[in-house]
Structure 1
Amino acid sequence: MAMNLQTPDEPEVMMDINTTPLIDVMLVLLIMLIITIPVQQHSVNLDMPQSATPQTKKPNVVRIEVDARSVVNWNGKPLADRAALDILLLEAKAQEPQPELHIKAQGKAKYEAVAGVLASAQRQGLTKIGIVGTKQFAAP
């Protein structure tokens, strides 16, 4: 025989945890956090450099062309050899401001000649170098 300790008038014992006080505490903490956070600014302050004055003077441009026979031309005048190119590159480096070199190679020019011009310009310390007229080499 089993013994029943519960009287018929008592309510049934609840076995679940009561989460209401936990939720109340969490809401109070959330409100305190919201109140104590400082107001955020919607912008970021950056120290940007001041803009430079635009160039009104066009840069000096030197056109170097390498033709199909790998002859190097300086502004349309053919050069005898690499030494003549080096002398002209040294003179260009001494100019202030440094001129821009626009190097153009024809389609049949040897790579060795074009690479030699680029290497000479770099060796002499010229930094404003551009290769122009490359549309003929683009893939269709």
Structure 2
Amino acid sequence: MAFGGFDQNKNTHPVAEINMVPLIDVMLVLLIIFMIAAPLMTHTVKIDLPKTNGAAQPEPPEAINVSINSSQQLFWNDAPVSRPEFQQRLRQIATQTPAPEVHIRADQTVPYRLLAETLADAAEAGVSRMGFVAAPNTDK
């Protein structure tokens, strides 16, 4: 072992093992310091902001769900609509500020032609915020 005995007459030689106790003590002290200091660093600086006459940001309008079922019927937020009525509603929302998003949901069996016509109607009306909605693949 690295520990010496009580006999002082023996030839002593240097210990070749590192004493870990002081290193562990320093590590625990540093851990405690960081545990105390970390929450103090997360507080923000308190400042008194100037008041202005600017208006608050308006809440974005709710998204509009456009659905096309397998029988090629159009739905506007779950209400069936005809193609001319659909085009009229698209023109109405294109004039709103801020413009709402249009989420398009189409059945897998819907022909691409009908989906392309729906997108063309939206583009012609001036709707620029559109997105496709798909179900996640759970076959993994």
TM-superposed deviation, 1:135: 4.2
TM-superposed deviation, 1:72: 0.8
Tell me the equivalent position of 1:105: 106
Tell me the equivalent position of 2:65: 63
TM-superposed deviation, 1:59: 3.4
Q: TM-score, normalised by structure 2?
A: 0.53
CA distance in 1, matches of 2:124, 2:59: 27
In 2, are the aligned partners of 1:68 and 1:110 still within 8 Å (CA)? no
**Higher gyration radius (CA):** 1
Q: TM-score, normalised by structure 1?
A: 0.53
Tell me the equivalent position of 1:89: 90
Structure 1 runs of 4+ aligned residues shifted over 3 Å read none
For 1:47-104, what per-residue CA distance to the aligned partner results, in whole angstroms no more than 9, with x for missing partners? xxxxxxxx67243210000100111100001112x21111000111121110100001
CA distance in 1, matches of 2:59, 2:133: 21
Tell me the equivalent position of 2:122: 121
In 1, are the aligned partners of 2:60 and 2:100 still within 8 Å (CA)? no
Structure 2 runs not aligned, ≥5 long: 1-56
Tell me the equivalent position of 1:18: none
SS in 1 for 2:102: strand
CA distance in 2, matches of 1:115, 1:122: 10
Task: Provide the identity percentage.
Answer: 27
CA distance in 1, matches of 2:109, 2:84: 23
Structure 1 runs not aligned, ≥5 long: 1-54
In 2, are the aligned partners of 1:68 and 1:106 still within 8 Å (CA)? yes
CA distance in 1, matches of 2:80, 2:119: 17
SS in 2 for 1:103: strand
